[in-house]
Amino acid sequence: MMLVVLCLFLLFSTCHSRSLPHLQRPDPDCDYNITQIIQSKGYPCEEHKVITNDGYILGVFRIPHGRNSSSTGRPVLLQHGLLDSATTWVMNFPDQSLGYILADAGYDVWLGNMRGNYYSRAHIKYNPDHDEAFWDFSWDEMAKDDLPSMIYYILNVTKYEQIGYIGHSQGTMIAFAEFSRPDSVVRNNVSFYGSLAPVAHVGHIESPLKYLASATIMKDLELYWHILFGRNEFLPSSYIIKWLGTFACGEFIIDRVVCDNIFFILFGPEKKNLNETRIPVYASHVPDGTSVKNMIHFAQGVQTNAFQAYDYGSPEKNQLHYNQTTPPQYSIRSMKVPTAIFSGGEDWLADPSDVNYIIDNIQSLVYKKYIPNYNHIDFIWALTASQLVYVDLLDVMKKYHPPN
C-alpha cells in the first residue's frame, strides 16, 4: 500500500511543480458521503446495516422512490465492481446515474456494498485495523454470504418475494457464481439479472492487472502478492486518496491527461465517453478498498482462466477447505435467472473473448448488447450510458421485474 501511495505522491509532486494560476473550488460531491450525495440531488436516502452469517456488517443504502413520487415499487439491488462502492451508481447527475434513473422509473432502489470496502468495513468480532482474520475473504465469500444476506434483508423489509439485480464488474462475478450454484438459496428470489461489463472467466484481460498474475504456480502467486501488499487491506479509501482526487485531479494543478489516464490504464483506452469535469469526483471515491486475498483470487482467474473458488495452493489445503483436492468450479450453464448482458469493445477487464464465453454458455440469456467503443467503467459513468445502456436495460427488466 505504501508503494502505491509513494507513486501517487511522486506523480503529484512532479506535476505540481508547474506554475499554478489559481485553485478551482472543488465539487462538494468530492467530500460528500453517499447519503449526502443522494440527498443533495433531491432524493430520499435510508441507511441500513446487514449482518452476514459470518459476522460482517454491510452498509446498504436505499432510495425508496424518485424525486417526484412517494410511491415505492418493487425492489432492485445494484452491486458495484472491484475496488468500488455503492457511490458509483449515483456519482453522475440524476439523468445520467442508474440509481436515480431507476428510482424515478418507480423502483425501490437498494445500493449494496461488499465486505471490506469503505461502507462495509466492520464485523461483530474482528477489528479491520488490527485483526488479520477480518481480511480472510475473496469474492467467493461475497457470492456465498454477502449477496444472499442482502437479498434476504431487502425482501424482509419490502415484503416482496423476488428482487431485481443489476451488477457491474465484480458485482456480475458474484452473481454468476451464486446464481449458478445448484444449492443456491436465493436464485429463485431473483426475477431478473442485468449484467454490465460481465466478469467470470478473465483469462484474456488486457489491463495491467494481468502482470500481477505472472507467477508460475499458485503458491508463488500468493507469496508474490503478500510480499508486495501484505495480507490485509488493498487500496482502501483514505484521506490521501480523497485529497488527491479532489485537488490533484483539478483542472489547474496537474495536466488533465495524466489524471484521466489513472482510470483508463486499468479499465480501457476509450475515455471520450466521460464527463471529464466529474473526474475529481470519481477519483475522490475510487478506490474504496478490498482484501489482498480478493485480489489474489482475481489473479488466479487471470492465470488459469477458470471460474472457480479460491485455490489454496495445494491439494492438502484445498481438501481441508472444500473436501476435494481442487477448488470447486462454477458452471454458468446451470444459471436459470433471466439475464441481460451489456458489454464493450474497449473493455480491458471484461474482454470480448471472455464475454463471448459467457454468452455462448449461459442458458437463461434474454438480451445482449455490444457497444464497440465502451470500456469497463463506461457502463456506469459514461455520458451516453443513459441512452445506450439504461433505456434498453429498463425495457427488458420491466418484462421480468416491472416496478409496480
pLDDT value at position 215? 60
Q: Kindly report, residue by residue over 290-335, the tens digit of the pLDDT.
A: 999 999 999 999 999 999 999 999 999 999 999 999 999 999 999 9
Q: Kindly report, residue by residue over 53-80, the tens digit of the pLDDT.
A: 999 999 999 999 999 988 899 999 999 9
pLDDT value at position 175? 99
Instruction: Assess whether pLDDT exceeds 80 at residue 166.
Output: yes
Whether residue 287 has a cis bond before it, omega within 30° of 0: yes
The verdict on whether 347 is a catalytic residue reads: yes
Residue 379 exposed, middle or buried by CB count within 10 Å (0-12, 13-18, 19+): buried
- State mean pLDDT over 187-214: 89
What amino acid occupies position 7? C
Q: How confident is the model at residue 32 (pLDDT cuts 50, 70, 90)?
A: very high
Among the listed residues 92, 29, 102, 96, the one whose alpha carbon sits nearest the alpha carbon of residue 65: 102
SS3 category, 289: coil
Q: Which of 32-41, 86-95, 128-137, 209-218 shows the lowest mean pLDDT across its residues?
A: 209-218
CA atoms of 48 and 60, how far apart (whole Å): 5
Cβ–Cβ < 8 Å for 179, 190: yes
Number of CB atoms found within 10 A of residue 41's CB: 18
SS3 category, 149: helix
Number of CB atoms found within 10 A of residue 105's CB: 17
Q: Name the pairing type of β-strands 108-112 and 57-63.
A: antiparallel
Higher pLDDT, 8 or 335: 335
Question: Is 24-400 in CATH node 2.30.30.240?
Answer: no
3-state secondary structure 167-227: EEEHHHHHHHHHHHCCCCCCHHHEEEEEEEEECCCCCCCCCHHHHHHCCCCHHHHHHHHHH
Instruction: Assess whether pLDDT exceeds 60 at residue 10.
Output: no
CA atoms of 141 and 178, how far apart (whole Å): 10
Strand partners, 214: none
Residue 162 exposed, middle or buried by CB count within 10 Å (0-12, 13-18, 19+): middle
Among the listed residues 365, 87, 93, the one whose alpha carbon sits nearest the alpha carbon of residue 237: 87
Cβ–Cβ < 8 Å for 102, 109: yes
CA atoms of 237 and 73, how far apart (whole Å): 33
- State mean pLDDT over 178-194: 95
Q: Which three cell numbers stand for residue 402?
A: 416491472
Higher pLDDT, 186 or 4: 186
Extended strands (E) in 258-361:
290-291, 339-344
Residue keyed to cell 494560476: 21
CA atoms of 65 and 103, how far apart (whole Å): 5
Among the listed residues 101, 206, 113, the one whose alpha carbon sits nearest the alpha carbon of residue 167: 113
Active-site pick, 169, 191, 195, 386: 169
CA atoms of 232 and 132, how far apart (whole Å): 6
CA atoms of 194 and 100, how far apart (whole Å): 16
Q: Which of 21-30, 218-227, 317-326, 394-403 shows the lowest mean pLDDT across its residues?
A: 21-30
